[in-house]
Amino acid sequence: MARQPLWTLLAAVLLGGCAGAGGGIQRAPDQAPQVVGPSVTRNTTPLEPAFACMGAALRNRLPNKPKIGVGQVRDYTGKFAEADGGSAITQGGSLMTMSALGKLRGAVRVFERFDTTVPEWELGQLGKRYLGDEKIHAVNTNGEVQQVPWKPYTGGTVVETDYFIVGGITELNYTITSGGVRAEINQMGPSARSFVANVAVDLRLIDTKSLEMLETVSLQKQVVGREVGLSVFEFFSDVLVDVEVGGKHLEPLQLAVRTTLEQAVLELLSPMAGVDPSNCIEYRPDNLRLPTGASLKLDTGVPAPKLGDNATGHSAAAAPGVAPASASPVDAPAAAPATPLPPAPLLPQTGRPDLGPGEGQFGPRGIGPDASRRPRDGGAP
């Protein structure tokens, strides 16, 4: 009986330590502290460098950037997660596909085709002469010019796309393989277990003008999980002690879906860029790591600006070329002139991107000089 208070005390200390771990931030004096976790970071995948490679290939190949839209990329698995009370697979496949195109950093032009609720509403108000842009416009009505506050609509402001991407998440297979081991002596010992699932996606690239299916991609990725543990089951006099410790590591399922969709996008565009996908795509888990202090830094080649501490009373360092607030005009160095951005290349008035004779032969049907490309003015291809 002498040991029982000791175990009770140790359990109380352990639970108390777990409950108080991490502390928190108090928003207001009358509110309970709120636990604040890690900082926000970019949602990277093991394919990050592949987008820089593919973007460079697209810029070299197609200076007139292809115009692409994204339609429905739905969950077709039909799997339901009872524990979560919802779908087991993300319903944001279209959003992940758009983000993948955005990682090409302007090598293609992406147009909204997924959610057009706001522009359709504004277009309706424009037709009713309710929509304005806070300017006065001159409108000629039967030879009489009137000054009106509503914005006249002449049509043709919505740009058509060259291609669009649609598809879906088509497979989610639980426990393709599983295995484990458990060894106990006198009801004490370790255990280990592993299991593998997989997901698959199917995407297709469509010619907007002819609706010809130019390219299809079907990819799958395995998802790995591991679990280890140690159990102790023992009697101390008339006291029963049962302790289990362990850890479980599971690759994020939705990250696997995002990564697979990203590689599918890269493979859809690789014939357009005239490169073999294997020349750009390299799956490296180390690419998930972000540089120190670059939580929200984009891959633009320009260092992210550091935020000042003015709110806490500390002075922030002046940016290069900008004098501190206390400096005199004489001592202040001249600010570097802003470098103007190069003008965007003009798009051709007829036809889709011209790959040139003898180019674009890599890959199956539809992308290259023999593809069904028709000039927008109805002329000969």
The full set of domain ranges for the chain reads: 40-113+161-185+202-221+252-284, 120-158
What pLDDT does residue 356 have? 42
Which homologous superfamily does the CATH classification assign to the domain defined by 40-113+161-185+202-221+252-284?
Answer: ABC-type transport auxiliary lipoprotein component (3.40.50.10610)
Residue 264: partners with Cβ closer than 8 Å, 6 or more residues away:
167, 201, 202, 203, 217, 219
The yes-or-no verdict on residue 57 having pLDDT over 50 is: yes
Choose between 346 and 257: higher pLDDT: 257
Percentage of the chain surpassing pLDDT 90? 38
Provide the 8-state DSSP code for 167.
Answer: E
1-23 pLDDT, tens digit per residue, is: 444 555 555 555 565 555 555 56
In the chain, DSSP assigns E strands to: 67-75, 80-81, 86-87, 109-111, 137-141, 144-148, 163-182, 188-207, 213-236, 239-250
pLDDT confidence bin for 284, thresholds 50/70/90:
confident
CA pair distance 33, 197, nearest whole angstrom: 39
What pLDDT does residue 210 have? 96
150-163 pLDDT, tens digit per residue, is: 988 878 888 999 99
Choose between 207 and 304: higher pLDDT: 207
274-283 pLDDT, tens digit per residue, is: 988 888 998 8
Choose between 231 and 290: higher pLDDT: 290
What pLDDT does residue 64 have? 93
CA pair distance 70, 302, nearest whole angstrom: 29
